[in-house]
Amino acid sequence: MVSAAIKPAIRGALRLHEIGNDTPYKISFAAKGKSGASFGFMQGDLAAAQPFVTATFRNAMSAAGMTAADIDGLLAQLSKHQIKNPLSAAETSRVNRALLSAANLVDRMDEQILAHVYDDLDRCLDRATQAHRRVDTKAQIYMMLWINMSGPPTKLLVWLGGGDPELPREVAAAREIVTGEAMEDYLAATNYYVSNPQNLNHLHQCADAGMRALGEAPSHAVPIAQSTEFDASAAPLAVTFSTAAHGPAGAASEVTVSAKSDTGRDVTVAMRKTGADSGNLSLREATDGTTQSFSVTAIRARADGTRLVCQAQVAFFSAMVSCTLQAARTTGSDTIVIAASGPFPFTRTYSATRPDFDRLKGFIAQAGFPALDPLPSQAFAATAMPAIAASNTASDDDPYHPAIVAIEIWKLQPSSPAYDDRIAPLVRAASSRIKADTNPADLAKWLELQSSAMNISDSDILSTTLTLREVSANAFSQALQSLSTAQQLRVRLALGEIDPPDQEAVAVTAAALPPTAAVQVLGAFTGQSIFTSPRHHPVVHGELKLFDNRGAALGTYTVNTGGGARNYKTTNGPVPPGFYRLSHFRPRDTVGMVFNGIGYSFDLDPILDTKVFGRSLFRVHPDGGQAQTNGCLGVREDAAHLVQCRDQLRHLLDRGPVTISVSY
């Protein structure tokens, strides 16, 4: 039977899927299918011949004073297929008032419908158990959404039992563990979603919302790859797509991607089908026409068009190449991810408009490639970063080398969550060792680590280095001299002792990048003054204002940024001016991220051509310790306002992408 522990998440996903944030105490009409008028969060359908739904409607109308003849007249119109409301505005208002007044009856009806759907889900779980399969939580949420939409399961039971459900599109056989991704594939191949693929995004969002209610992050498959010759330091690309047919009628089609980076690089990426499971992937530089072309084989594609994987010979090694599409909650920031698995893995991310995104998605879904077996939920850890995964255990003899190797690999595909999950534990182990024993050999190794971490705003690394310099000045100087000239330079840059060429001091001026009508900014930090940190560097002091989607103010918070370097172009200086995408909430116990007993962080990733001068790991977090940050937005408030800021940011994230502007 379905676990009681996940029922609240299922209920939330169902409510979001059926009525969103609307009231359940009103009639509504589906534009498709054979539904009549529906009401309740489970959308009890008057045309579905469910006696208790009709009885609920009759009782609610009767309680509002309507006669039996009036009610019969309403049911005659509402209990047959309708794609729009047949009632007048006055009639509709009267019906909705009656439903609201009888909310207890509507709620009871919802519970009856929900119980029937749970019974059908239990049938699915029983069939899976009989076939020696297990259904994970997200897959159960999808099953509930589908059963409530389509009625008692039939083909789904066949599939769970190991049979062919005979869907319009090929779907991989159910595996030992039926994952959420497997259900996404199954549903994308059903008649309804083949005819209405645009509705898949809403389905996925509702399942993700259910997972968040359980405190679990929605999992996304993450693989994709290319050549070691790629510029791994390039920032995300803005992308548009076009499609073109090549060759005679019936020949494979091609999707062409035109990409532009924040450094001005224009790249055209083309994907063409050349055989049943083979194709060609090419990348062309617009500036000089240089083209890299790869013949790819063993292509597999998800039925919903959101993922394609293949094998390619890249340079001197074979790599898994894949293209993952991730739709945003709104239409403005869909992404296409291209990442590498193999000896030199990294990920490239592109943004696309919804029409372009859907065009590429349609190519993957409809090109006729063999079906892709779903990945387990932890695919990223095992596939996208195998080298880091292999280095994820610090050696008791030498904790520094694994950390340095992991940092260098991470810099090929920087990601704040990957850093927190995989790099930070190695850094902490090395930090603990050097604090316990500052012998010259270990001190030199730590400084090598600090050198590798230049441009990474990890306050623990820098604070450890500063402490070592303070308590062991002579040994520190000798260890620094033992490094190469380049390593010494990087350490001194990180410590703020020198600046890179062509640097200017931070000044509080007019907004460097004022918001435009094309950018909906839900958070705006504005620097208002400067004070000097204990390390004798400028700290920008200002306010972070949060807004809802309509532009109404939610809150204003005191924020500090910088203090570890002389300007925003240098690691540990203030956050560079520009636009950032907020993501990935995490509770925190790190000293620099806890203030007044409240600790948390959100990631900030630069977008819209914001120049960050090679820096990374920007965050929003409480401004713990002394009033300064090492390159983040530090909220300096009392406990109640820190919690309020946290909760408002989380609420905004739950509703869609959040853009934060930074200006001085």
User: Is residue 93 helix, strand or coil?
Assistant: helix
pLDDT: which is higher, 47 or 195? 47
Strand partners, 350: 237, 336
- How many angstroms separate the CA atoms of 307 and 322, rounded? 7
Which pLDDT band, with edges at 50, 70 and 90, does 259 fall under? low
Q: What integer pLDDT is reported at residue 521 of this predicted model?
A: 82
Q: What integer pLDDT is reported at residue 566 of this predicted model?
A: 73
Would you say 411 and 212 are in contact if contact means Cβ atoms under 8 Å apart?
no
For Cα atoms 188, 194, 197, give the angle at the middle one, nearest 5 degrees. 75
Would you say 261 and 237 are in contact if contact means Cβ atoms under 8 Å apart?
yes
pLDDT in tens, 632-653: 899 999 999 999 999 999 888 8
What does the block give as tokens for 600?
A: 């948390």
Q: Identify the weakest region by mean pLDDT among 18-32, 76-90, 406-420, 631-645.
A: 406-420
398-418: average pLDDT: 74
615-625: average pLDDT: 86
Q: How do 553-561 and 177-178 pair as beta strands?
A: unpaired
At residue 314, does pLDDT exceed 70? Answer: no
Question: Burial level of 635, CB count in 10 A (0-12/13-18/19+)?
Answer: buried
pLDDT in tens, 476-524: 888 998 888 778 888 887 776 665 544 443 443 333 444 444 457 889 8
Q: What integer pLDDT is reported at residue 657 of this predicted model?
A: 79
In CATH terms, the fold of domain 521-663 is L,D-transpeptidase catalytic domain-like (2.40.440)
pLDDT in tens, 317-333: 455 666 676 655 444 45
List CB contacts of 155: < 8 A, sequence separation 6 or more.
165, 166, 167, 190
Q: What integer pLDDT is reported at residue 551 of this predicted model?
A: 81
DSSP 427-470: HHHHHHHHHH---HHHHHHHHHHHHHTTTB--HHHHHHHHHHHH
User: Is residue 606 helix, strand or coil?
Assistant: strand
Domains of the chain by residue range: 4-213, 237-383, 387-494, 521-663
End-to-end CA distance of the chain: 57
Question: Whole-prediction pTM value?
Answer: 0.41
According to DSSP, residue 395 is labeled -
pLDDT in tens, 416-466: 777 777 788 888 888 888 888 888 888 999 998 988 887 777 777 887 888
76-83: average pLDDT: 87
pLDDT in tens, 467-478: 888 888 888 888
E strand or H helix at 326: strand 317-326
DSSP 164-197: ----SS--PPP-SEE-HHHHHHHHHTSHHHHH-G
According to DSSP, residue 160 is labeled H
E strand or H helix at 31: none
Q: Identify the weakest region by mean pLDDT among 1-10, 507-516, 552-561.
A: 507-516
Which pLDDT band, with edges at 50, 70 and 90, does 55 fall under? very high
336-365: average pLDDT: 64
Q: What integer pLDDT is reported at residue 470 of this predicted model?
A: 80
List CB contacts of 487: < 8 A, sequence separation 6 or more.
447, 448, 451
Q: What integer pLDDT is reported at residue 353 of this predicted model?
A: 62
- How many angstroms separate the CA atoms of 179 and 475, rounded? 54
- How many angstroms separate the CA atoms of 368 and 364, rounded? 8
Q: Identify the weakest region by mean pLDDT among 42-46, 226-230, 302-306.
A: 226-230
Would you say 304 and 180 are in contact if contact means Cβ atoms under 8 Å apart?
no
What does the block give as tokens for 242?
A: 């076009």
DSSP 205-234: HHHHHHHHHTT-PPP--------TTS-TTP
- How many angstroms separate the CA atoms of 468 and 438, rounded? 8
At residue 51, does pLDDT exceed 50? Answer: yes
Which pLDDT band, with edges at 50, 70 and 90, does 229 fall under? very low
What is the number of alpha carbons within 13 Å of residue 324 lying toward its C-beta?
24
Q: What integer pLDDT is reported at residue 244 of this predicted model?
A: 32
List CB contacts of 349: < 8 A, sequence separation 6 or more.
236, 237, 335, 336, 337, 338
Cβ neighbours, 10 Å, residue 277: 17
pLDDT in tens, 533-550: 887 788 889 999 998 878
Would you say 188 and 148 are in contact if contact means Cβ atoms under 8 Å apart?
no
Amino acid in the structure at residue 183: M
pLDDT in tens, 125-167: 999 999 999 998 899 999 999 998 888 999 999 999 999 998 8
pLDDT in tens, 568-615: 777 778 888 888 888 888 888 777 888 888 999 998 888 777 887 777
Instruction: Go through 480-515 and write b for each residue having 16 or more CB atoms within 10 A of its CB, e for each that does not.
Output: beebeeebebbbebbbbeebeeebeebeeeeeebee
